[in-house]
């Protein structure tokens, strides 16, 4: 039996969240999606729920996604982190990889890769 995928989406754009929800309906073994739009809300969720995959934007209204990535790596081992950002230049890609992001997807050009990537994760 394949384990369920507990996914937390952290993005301050309701449009992006809705689009991801639509796209991920085709992926098997996903628990109901959890989503929020800020660093603080994500930290609250992480203290109460145990997602095994986080889709994380860099631009958030309180602290940025890079700070949240640091927090996740310091406090919550084993979570797969997929950075999903419009800030997809080499600087941010390299920084996120250095800080422990498992994947980096450019929102502008690679957004459609998300369901396939999620499907490939166990």
Tell me, what's the pLDDT at 32?
Answer: 87
**What is the pLDDT at residue 23?**
95
pLDDT means over runs of 10, the chain (122 residues) = 88 96 92 94 94 96 96 95 94 96 96 95 80
Strand arrangement of the beta sheet that strand 80-85 belongs to: 34-36, 7-10, 53-56, 80-85, 103-106
Q: What is the DSSP string of 93-113?
A: HHHHHHTT-SEEEETTTSGGG
CATH superfamily of 13-120: Response regulator (3.40.50.2300)
74 SS3 class: helix
Alpha helices in the chain (DSSP H): 14-24, 39-48, 65-75, 90-98, 114-120
pLDDT of residue 52: 95
Per-residue pLDDT, 1: 62
Of the candidates 6, 7, 101, 10, the residue with the CA atom closest to the CA atom of residue 64:
10
């Amino acid at each position: 039996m394949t384990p369920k995928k507990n996914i937390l989406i952290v993005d301050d754009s309701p449009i992006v969240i809705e689009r991801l929800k639509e796209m991920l309906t085709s992926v098997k073994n996903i628990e109901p999606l959890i989503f929020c739009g800020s660093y603080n809300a994500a930290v609250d969720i992480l203290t109460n729920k145990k997602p095994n995959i986080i889709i994380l934007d860099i631009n958030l209204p309180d602290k940025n996604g890079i700070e949240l990535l640091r927090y996740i790596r310091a406090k919550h081992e084993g979570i797969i982190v997929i950075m999903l950002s419009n800030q997809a230049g080499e600087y941010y890609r390299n920084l996120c990889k250095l800080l422990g992001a498992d994947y980096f997807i450019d929102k502008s050009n690679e957004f459609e890769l998300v369901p396939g990537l999620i499907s490939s994760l166990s």
